[in-house]
Amino acid sequence: ANSYEKEGGMQLGYTLTEVNGPIESGTVQFEAISGPGESFEVNLEGDDLISGPLESITNQGDITDALVDGTEYNIVFTMVDFAGNTGTNTVENVTYDTTAPYASLSFSQPYASGDMLVTVTATFSEGMADNELDIIPEILLYFGEYDEEEEEYNSSIQSAMSATEDSTVWIHNFSVPGDSTDMENDGMVHAEFDINSTMDFAGNLLVSHPGAEEGESVVYSDTLIVDNLVP
């Protein structure tokens, strides 16, 4: 299975098992299999060669310097003992990801009135963590005018979104609060995400869309207007 690591997460540790004591030499190769980065290799030195658990290696700084954001690696450990025996272990499909995701939103219809069912679709800049990781993007929808004094909208909905086959696309079906005679929720629906539960597979938290307007954290591909005014 694929795994993802964010900045600071590629701290290399391992357990070396050699019944006859230290090994003679060892290397760790980061084999780039996709993305912009290149393959590189670091040597194991000093205490790295002693049998037992190790939380970090001597040349960790060289690893950190050589990693490239958006690159998927196979990490290959090669060990040689003093008898000349060679052992290898590989950790496959590890993606180094330091880029924070952002989102754009669209709605299934441009207008709605109270109690109508609407679908909001979030398209993220990259795949988002899902319920397999016990983390699901949560959206907050705001209705009505913003009260500057109370610092809140007239009403709001917060709910976990539902995954689709595309990990960058998530949906949520909701009913517009109120009824068709309640005009307090009229106006454009605004949205944001709970950044504590909205992150990519590496754990990078959601940030504001670079193209978002002032006061917004997302870009609206299209908007939803609640209109309960009877013509």
Distance from chain centroid for Cα 227: 35
Q: What is the mean pLDDT of the chain?
A: 91
pLDDT tens, 188-219?
Answer: 999 999 988 899 999 899 999 999 999 899 99
What is the tally of structural domains in the chain? 2
Tokens standing for residue 175: 């009913």
Sheet of strand 138-147: strand arrangement: 152-160, 138-147, 190-193
pLDDT tens, 136-164?
Answer: 999 999 999 988 888 899 999 999 999 99
CATH number of residue 34's parent domain: 2.60.40
Alpha helices in the chain (DSSP H): 60-66
β-partners of residue 79 are 26, 87
Residue 156 forms part of a structural domain: yes
Where do we find the tokens 């004591």? 21
Domain assignment of residue 15, given as a range: 3-96
| 159 Cβ contact list (under 8 Å, min separation 6) | 138, 139, 172, 174
C-beta of residue 210 within 8 angstroms of C-beta of residue 103:
no
**166: pLDDT strictly greater than 80:** yes
- The most confident of the ranges 16-30, 106-120, 172-186 is 106-120
Q: Is 26 helix (H, G, I), strand (E, B) or coil?
A: strand
Q: Please check whether residues 72 and 125 belong to one and the same domain.
A: no
CA-CA distance, 212 to 102, in Å (whole number)? 10
**130: pLDDT strictly greater than 60:** yes
C-beta of residue 94 within 8 angstroms of C-beta of residue 5:
yes
pTM above 0.75, yes or no: yes
Q: Please check whether residues 196 and 160 belong to one and the same domain.
A: yes
Q: Please check whether residues 13 and 123 belong to one and the same domain.
A: no
| 181 half-sphere exposure, CB direction, 13 A CA radius | 0
